Amino acid sequence: MNKESKICQSCGRTIEYRKKWEKDWDQVKYCSQSCKSKKNSFDFKADILKRLNDQKVKSSICPSDILPPEQKQNKEMMEYVRRSARLLAHDGQIEITQGNKVVDPEDFRGPIRLRLKRS
């Protein structure tokens, strides 16, 4: 049985179908127990969209721009911003870029930038 993959509602990563979920596949929302327990404790989706829409010049932002100055170096908080960015990218609202090239929300490492989706 070939089921369509899903996006984790916490981290934005792909959840591949597994036989053990056969009876519950419609209810599966999270890729791991960790994501299920955290459920993206800090949701930055609205903050990202507001920041991108409020810019006078439509350009990209660094994910750390979303955090207050005292949290910009906090790796855990940065991961929550990246999770929110992945979810927005999967929804088609923003693009994640590296070196001005759009990257797959599933497959990036290192510094990224966020921008509104271009038509």
Q: What is the pLDDT of residue 39?
A: 66
E strand or H helix at 114: strand 113-116
Statement: residue 115 has pLDDT above 50? yes
Statement: residue 1 has pLDDT above 50? no
Q: What is the mean pLDDT of residues 5-12?
A: 85
| Domains of the chain with CATH codes | 6-38 (no CATH), 45-116 (1.10.10.10)
- pLDDT tens digits for range 55-70: 877 789 999 999 999 9
| Residue percentage of the chain with pLDDT more than 90 | 45
> Residue 16: is it exposed, middle or buried by C-beta count within 10 angstroms (0-12/13-18/19+)?
exposed
- pLDDT tens digits for range 36-89: 877 666 889 999 999 999 987 778 999 999 999 999 999 989 989 999 999 999
Q: What is the pLDDT of residue 32?
A: 84
> Residue 81: is it exposed, middle or buried by C-beta count within 10 angstroms (0-12/13-18/19+)?
buried
- Maximal CA-CA distance, the chain: 50
Rounded to 5 degrees, φ, ψ at 55 are -70, 135
Q: What is the pLDDT of residue 2?
A: 52
